[in-house]
Chains A and B, each alone.
Chain A
Amino acid sequence: MNLEQTSLKTLSRDLHQKNISSVALTQSYLERIQSFSELNAFITVDPDKALAQAKLADARLARGEGGPLTGIPIAHKDIFCTKDWRTTCGSKMLSNFIAPYDAHIVQRYQSAGMILLGKTNMDEFAMGSSNETSYYGPVRNPWNLQKVPGGSSGGSAAAVAARLIPAATASDTGGSIRQPAALCGISGIKPTYGLASRFGMIAFASSLDQAGLMAPSAEDLAWLLNDLVGHDPRDATSLNRTTEDYTKHLEQPINSLKIGIPTAFMGSGTHPEILKAIEAALAHYQQMGAQIIELDMPHLSLSIPVYYVLAPAEASSNLSRYDGIRFGWRSQEARTLSDLYALSRGEGFGAEVKRRILIGSYVLSQGYYSAYYLQAQKVRRLIAQDFTHAFERCDVIMGPTTPTPAFNLNTQRSNPVEMYLSDIFTIGVNLAGLPGMSIPAGFTSDHLPVGLQLIGPHFSEAKLLQAAHQYQTQTHWHQQFPSGEPA
């Protein structure tokens, strides 16, 4: 398998032309996953189940059947329920949970004929920005094993970056797709809130969570997005819109695309080499014909406090079901009902999860609800309005995805708030329910990836993908992957 030739487009052609079989392809990826196990990108890999699916895919391809994605391997972030597979959400609480049903998007990719190889590692219950809160151990950044891959979708990001899988699903609540995509030098997309069904995606913060994708290129993402998006009557927040083909307009030139740059995004708090790389990327866009305008978004700086009130609030409620009674971790030490709850949850949850449950319970409690939760919802509306006003003046907002490149493992543990600040550019997007992408835009002198974030108005995924793809036809950042040999 030539890892340089593993775009979905190429794999699809090779499979349909019988240049390679799905079994062989799956086998290659399984071996590669095994060789790079030190990355700890996967929580569960099931070679037998994978090869069984691959055999079926080959049979269909042999009969001339199958669609564009048939026979291509995929990995799902362990936040998505996969029937009869262990689904842990990165937590001890669900270490023994075998999902009895498939998440909606898992069903979609299965129907499309993709081969499920495994479930990727993640921050526990999607709470984290470095994939260090996982019960199953931290994930390492393939570009530098001493660094974090980002989070919470660190496993999916590392797996794609190291080419252990052609593509992976992920989820994004405050930046959990875009930030790890940036730190690992890959492309990631979080669609407009409501486009991808949340049914079967283990809930963290319901009004912010969204399923998304990670792959080397924007074109790969476009190939996959058609199956991610679509109405699901089981999710009341799922939108019912006419289907779009996200691959249709990729090749169109961007012409005079208006790019807005919030002044707040290019400030002094960001690593200078990141700023340099972003400025170079923007200059490139200008060469392609784009116009750059500066944006003032006065409430954007409030994104982090708003998020860290609302997300924990929703999480504190969403995680109440984990009590060891019907499924999941149940403490063996419990002697009373009170114990059962306190010990099962005390033992089953990690520190960051507990921290957020406490914060969330606090801001919803009597006497504090108005000052915190209600107030945060109001400010959320103001932030969303900042974006609406911005999009009256531009087509796409761009800027750095993260303020710093990948940082060392074990550095930020003692100060959670510092960790929270790494989401500073991405969080506002979730608060406004907008689509967002991150694509590779260069490297630091330490050879750590730099990500460029693209944000569009609601339902502008096609435009974002087009802008990203056009940049990628003229640059090669997205084609690079760590050449490291397995340890």
Chain B
Amino acid sequence: MNWEVVIGLETHVQLTTLSKMFSGSSTAFGQPPNTQACAIDLGLPGVLPTINQQAVFLALRFGLAVQGKIPPYSIFARKNYFYPDLPKGYQISQYEHPIIQGGGVTINTEQGHKIIPLTRAHLEEDAGKSIHGILPGYTAIDLNRAGTPLLEIVTEPVMHSAKEAVLYAKTLHRLVTWLGICDGNLQEGSFRCDANVSVRPSGSITLGTRCEIKNLNSFRFLEQAVNYEIQRHIDILESGGSITQETRLFDPDRQETRSMRSKEEAMDYRYFPDPDLLPLVISEQWLKEAADALPELPEACQQRWQDQYDLTAYDTEQLTQSKAMADYFERLVQTQPPQAKNYANWILGDLSALLNRTETTWEQCPVPAEALGQLVQRTEDGTLSSKMAKIVLEKLAQEGHSVDYWITHLGLKQISDPAALEQLILKLIQKYPTQVAEYRSGKQKVFAFFVGQAMKASQGQANPTHLTTLLQKHLSGPA
């Protein structure tokens, strides 16, 4: 039996507002428990919600970026269920009239571009956190997170493998961080995926019974959980059983999904429009402001760089991993002369490695784009060998100053002057007559010895290309 897998993803994206969706409490992460929950977040008697305009604005930017439809108004609805980390006993969300409808995210698969259509995206508030195991016999509730703005982004069920799902999730992750609407921190729970998985016989037009795997907060777990679930479904169906529609959790330690113990919460959320909030009206003016605030999107950026600077698709994909990195590259290519390929190599190679080593983000990059530009310039004009350039890069990162400062300060100027090199070479020939003879008698490997010695003698500053040419000339010359 051939099985077709059908996957849809719901992603909860925490928006980068300073305050919560319906109250003025701070959204800062990592604070002592229950220090960021005001009367409104606690659902005390008599409190009322009011809408965080910035959260709406960020949602609009997302909607425009995915070319979704933004109706002139949307409605907040109450999703009613009981759980201790949900203070009001309902979550303010959106139901029949979400802020964004449709839209799509383009993923770059091995077979080419594929658009993943979105069903919708809507605004809602996050619940608090239930922490088991720290108080014996009790569950600890921290309501700091209760009320944080979320944008829930729902795809159509059009993905057919865990790999595809992960690719979508990563692309979406890049988009929301690129737009600056989410900090993308998976560990802190800023970006959480729920995967809906079902299988059906190939060629069937009806969908199989699906299961939802909740709260996957890493791409690795997403892939593992989905793969496990697919196999679980296939195993059950092939042995004649049927799938129970349910919600499951992924256990990363045991690498399996488990049914969530059925809670008091009813499946029926009794949605109705929240009478405490007016319909959210999106004016033309607001849409225009959101559109104006949109940066060039990663795909457009990639295409432009491929066209303008002749970079490969792979290079541009790498360079658009983060907006900060992309901005850095963009600043570089504005310098004269633009050395796009070189810049790409430096950014993706040594500079990325340096940032990783020092656990620094691109936003905090200690080497200004202008300095790197200078560095590349100095390697191009022969002043610095690439080996020396790496040393200068380290120095720039640790201590600042300028490229020329370090060249002078460390005496790193590459020796390219033929006369100086020849002098050096002649000294070596005098010093090592045996090796010269070996080379002239056909032992090519000895060449490397001379290169090494020349580098040593010049403290690594000999221009390698010139050195090679001149060594060849003199070593092969008349004895």
Q: Residues of A at under 8 Å CB distance from B? A: 80-81, 87, 89, 94, 97, 99-101, 103, 198-203, 205-207, 233-237, 313-314, 316-317, 319-321, 323, 325-327, 337-338, 341, 361, 364-366, 369, 373
The 3 closest A-B pairs by CB, nearest first: A320-B89, A364-B270, A206-B275
Q: Are A361 and B276 in contact (CB under 8 A)?
A: no
Q: Contact check, A341 vs B270: say whether CB atoms are below 8 A apart.
A: no
Q: How far is the CA of A97 from the CA of B39 in the complex (A)?
A: 13
Residue interface bits B32-68, CB-to-A below 8 A is 1, else 0: 0000000100111111111100000000000000000
B410: interface (CB < 8 Å): no
User: A235-B48, A327-B44, A365-B270 in contact; A321/B87 too (CB < 8 A)?
Assistant: yes
B90 within 8 A of A: yes
Contact B39 A198 (CB under 8 A): no
Q: Is the beta-carbon distance between A198 and B80 smaller than 8 angstroms?
A: no
Residue picked from B42, B51, B276, most chain A C-beta under 10 Å = B276
For residue B358, give the distance in angstroms from its CB to the closest CB of chain A: 44
Q: With A87-B45, A317-B89 in contact, do A341 and B264 touch (Cβ < 8 Å)? A: yes
Nearest Cβ on chain B to A431's Cβ, whole angstroms: 13
Contacts of B270 in A (CB 8 A): 316-317, 361, 364-366, 369
Q: Are A365 and B268 in contact (CB under 8 A)?
A: yes
Look across to chain A and name the residue whose beta carbon is closest to the beta carbon of B43. A321
Q: B447 in the interface, Cβ–Cβ < 8 Å? A: no
The number of residues on chain B lying at the interface, defined by a beta carbon within 8 Å of a beta carbon of chain A, is: 31
Question: Does B141 belong to the interface (CB within 8 Å)?
Answer: yes
- The smallest C-beta distance from A197 to any residue of chain B, in angstroms, reads 9
Pairs across A and B, CB under 8 Å, 28 listed: A97-B45, A99-B45, A101-B39, A199-B46, A202-B46, A203-B46, A203-B276, A234-B50, A236-B48, A236-B278, A237-B275, A237-B278, A317-B80, A317-B89, A317-B270, A319-B89, A320-B89, A321-B87, A323-B84, A323-B89, A326-B87, A327-B42, A338-B264, A341-B264, A364-B80, A364-B270, A369-B272, A373-B272
Q: Are B276 and A236 in contact (CB under 8 A)?
A: yes
Supposing A365-B270, A366-B268 touch, asked if A325 and B84 sit within 8 A by C-beta, the answer is yes
A384 to chain B, nearest CB (A): 15
- B contacts with A: majority SS: loop
Q: Are A236 and B50 in contact (CB under 8 A)?
A: yes
Judging by beta carbons under 8 Å apart, are B82 and A323 in contact? Answer: yes
Name the distance in Å between A313's Cβ and chain B's nearest Cβ.
7
Contacts of A364 in B (CB 8 A): 80, 270-272
- Give the CA-CA distance A361 to B270 in the complex, in Å: 7
Contacts of A327 in B (CB 8 A): 42, 44-45
* Separation of A320 and B92 alpha carbons in the complex (Å): 13
B46 A337 Cβ-Cβ under 8 A: no
Report chain B residues within 8 Å CB of A80.
46
With A81-B46, A234-B48, A326-B42 known to touch, is A317 a contact of B277 (CB < 8 Å)? no
Q: Smallest CB–CB gap between A240 and chain B, Å?
A: 12
**Bound-complex Cα distance A205 to B274 (A):** 11
Which residues does chain A contribute within 8 Å of B264, judged by CB atoms?
A: 337-338, 341
Chain A, Cβ-Cβ closest to B267? A366
Q: Which applies to chain A's interface (DSSP): helix, strand, loop or mixed?
A: loop
Among B88, B89, B90, B141, the most chain A Cβ lie within 10 Å of the Cβ of B89
B413 at the interface (CB under 8 A from A): no
**Cα separation A81 to B46 with both chains bound (whole Å):** 7
Answer whether residue B12 sits at the interface, using C-beta atoms and an 8 A cutoff: no
Assembled-state Cα–Cα distance A314/B270 (Å): 11
* In the complex, chain A residues whose CB is within 8 Å of the CB of B89: 317, 319-321, 323
Which residue of chain B has the shortest Cβ distance to A208 in the bound complex?
Answer: B275
User: Does B78 sit within 8 A of A, measured CB to CB?
Assistant: yes
Chain A residue nearest to B263 in the complex (CB): A337
For B34, the closest partner residue in chain A by CB is: A326
Given contacts A326-B87, A337-B139, A341-B264, 12 further A-B contacts (CB under 8 A): A94-B45, A103-B46, A202-B45, A203-B276, A234-B48, A235-B48, A317-B80, A317-B89, A321-B87, A323-B84, A337-B264, A361-B270
A344 to chain B, nearest CB (A): 11
From residue B35, how far is it (CB to closest CB) to chain A in Å?
15
Question: Per a CB cutoff under 8 Å, which of A202, A233, A316, A326 touches B50?
Answer: A233
Question: What B residues does A237 contact at CB under 8 A?
Answer: 275-278
Smallest CB gap from B89: residue in A = A320
Known: A236-B51, A317-B272. A341 touches B82 (CB 8 A): yes
Q: Which residues of A contact B275 (CB under 8 A)?
A: 205-207, 237, 314
Contacts of A100 in B (CB 8 A): 39, 44
List chain A residues, Cβ under 8 A from B82.
320, 323, 341
Cβ–Cβ < 8 Å partners of A319 in chain B: 89
What are the residues of chain B within 8 A of A202 when measuring CB–CB?
45-46
Contact A321 to B49, CB < 8 A, known contacts A361-B270, A364-B272: no
Within 8 A of A (CB), among B238-283: 263-264, 268, 270-272, 275-278
